[in-house]
Each structure stands twice: as structure tokens, then as C-alpha cells.
A and B are shown apart, each in its own frame.
Chain A
Amino acid sequence: MPKAKVARKSTAIDMTAMCDVSFLLLTFFILTATARQPDPLEVAIPASTVEFKVPDKDISIVTIAKGKVLYEIVGRDIKIRTLERMGEEYGIQFNDEEKKRFAVIPAFGVPIGNLKQFIMMEPDQRKASGLETMGLPMADTTERNELGRWIFHSRKAVAELHNQSMQISIKGDANEEYPAIKKVVDIFQKQDMNKFSLITSPKGGI
């Protein structure tokens, strides 16, 4: 009786297809990844069940954490126009280099007097100098209320350039005390902005 021979198969597998798939996935993840710029202040945002995504243009974000207030304008063109308008109001001239650098700064909380110096710093210097987390002054008088002026001018800039009304949102730390939020909301309401949004993180499953 002849012995039944089991054909010996090679253990090498063709990896080509697998390689294709994995690189496709890799490309997808690289392209969808948005380099997240770290916030100057640590903000733990509370969770909620709402489903509206934060729009990515014509919006500005007021960050409130540890009693400090930072302001973030979205959009490079809007940032530059807002800076120009602020410069006009406070009598500070910003040159093109400074405008360009300001356009890539995410959130800032620097009093206008230190802004020029802040813009010209390198990112690591900004952190070290402590200017980054000084917070915007918001005294009661109009001209000392820089947060109010920033909001006002960015709204004007959005209206000028995009013909849209700007949305404003609050990104508050979960442990922030309510009066700090109220102070900012009162500034909105002084400018007749009764509608605003609260930025929250999506909550999974109820």
C-alpha cells in the first residue's frame, strides 16, 4: 500500500494584501488626525448629552479656568482683522510680522499692553514667562474690559469679512464657580448677545 503523502505547505503567507489594508488605515488616521494644540490652561470640560458639534468657523471661544479668562478666535483672517481693530482702539501699531504670528496663536489671555511682547516670543518662552496664563482683564469700565473689547471687535471682524454673525461659546472648567461664568455671561449680555453655547464633551450612553 502506498503511503498517503501529505503535501507540505509553505508557512509563508502573502502579506501584500494585509500590508495594503494596514497602510490604507494608516493614511486615513493620519489625515483625520488634527494636531491638537494644548490649551495654555488645563480645562476639564463637563459632559452633556447634546449632539451639536462645535462649528469650526465664525465662532470664538472664551475659556474660563482657575479664575482666568482666555479668548480664542477661530480663523486666521478674523484673528488678523480683530488684532488690527484692537490696535486702532488702544493705539498700538502691529506690523505684518506680528499679525502673521498672531494668526497662529490659539487661545491667549494677555493684557493688551503685553500683547506685542507676547506675540514675538517663541512658544516655549510664552509658557515660561507666565504671560500666557495671565488672563484677560475684565474690569467693569468699558475700556478696561479687554475681554469685552476683544469680543466686540471679533464680532465686527466676522461681520465685515464673512458677512455672518459670530457665535460665542464658553469652555469652562467643571470645577469653576458659577460667579466666574456669570461675569463672562454678563459681558455677553452687555453686548446684547443673549444666545451662546457651552462647550461640553459628549457623554456616552445614558
Chain B
Amino acid sequence: MAELDTSGGGKKGKKVRSKKQSTRVDLTAMVDLAFLLITFFMLTTSLSKPVAMDVFKPDKNEKDESVTMDFPESRTMTILIGKGGKVAWYMGLVGATPTIESTRQLRESLIDMKGKVLAANNNNPDKGLIVIVKPTKAAHYKDFVDVMDETKIAGIETLAIDDDNIKPAEIDMMKASGVY
């Protein structure tokens, strides 16, 4: 290597021996840097990719609006989503006393009703609970997702989303309970 001999020129005639240098490099700084970068990338990457919740809506028959589906009232649970993350649900026909609760509490009610309906129908899997979700104008998107999520957790197989046929009686009922 081209290096200046600075060791002084005192000893003349002697052979200049190049010092044997260690090949070791101090890697501490490099490791420091590498860990810093790792930390940065770990914190900025979102490993959790968003998930997709599949939703089906009943087909809209625009030519013939009169086509409706009838559900047996003993097995039907209607969930109305109102304001402030509250839902009002009732079994059977409009007019039944609704239960007002938060989306968080809905899960237990769903599982409870599912069990009751199954028991009433001799555990016939074809005659399980039918859930109709009706998001009203007062509902927020988050509440809708929450309710859909709760029905998935409760394992409700027959589910319908209906946002077109919200009856005035249902709105009145929700207003009376202060969730609309």
C-alpha cells in the first residue's frame, strides 16, 4: 500500500517491516445501524393487511316491486340499527317490544335467540334463526359493520340486509326508544 513512512528515519539500513495488521473490523457501528433500520421498517410496515367482509344483498327486482319474501315470524329476528351505536331488535312482527342494546351486547342476544329457536324447532338445522338487518338513516357505517360482524360471530346462517322496507311503525318504535 502507498503509505508514508512516518516512523522516523533513525534506523537506517534496517529492513522496513510492514506491520502485520489485524483483519478484524469493528462491526459494532454497523450492527447499530442495521438494527436502527430494522426498527424503522418494522414500525412502518403494516403486516396486517385489511380484511374483506363479504356481504350479500337480496336481488333487487326493479321490474316487479311487489315480489316480497315472507319469513315465518316465530323464527325471524329483526335488527334495526339506530344512532349512537344502538340497535333495537325484536322477534316476529312489528309491534313486539323491542330490546334496545349496544352492538356489543347484541352478540349474546343473537346466540341466545339462535339457541331458543333451534330448541323450539327440535334442533332442525333447516329451521334456524332468520336475521333481518335493517340499517336506518340514523346508522353509521361502523355500526353496520359491527352488526354484520356480530352475526358472523354468532354463526347466523340466514341473514338478509334490508334497507328499503323500513316500516313507519319501526321508525316510530325507535323514536320512542330514543335511538332514531
Contact = CB atoms under 8 A, between A and B. Distances in A.
A36 B139 CA distance: 31
Contact of B49 (A16, A53, A194): A53
Contact of B46 (A18, A36, A51, A64): A36
B22 to A, nearest CB: 11
Interface residues of B, number: 47
Interface string B163-174: 100000000000
A178 B34 contact: no
Chain A binding surface SS class: mixed
Nearest to A30: B41
Contacts of A194: 56-60
A115 interface: no
Interface in B28-45: 28, 30-31, 34-35, 37-38, 41-42, 44-45
B51 A22 contact: no
A52 B38 CA distance: 28
Interface string B117-159: 0000000000000000001111111111110110011000000
A57 B70 CA distance: 38
A201 B49 CA distance: 8
Interface of B: 26-28, 30-31, 34-35, 37-38, 41-42, 44-60, 62, 81, 135-146, 148-149, 152-153, 163
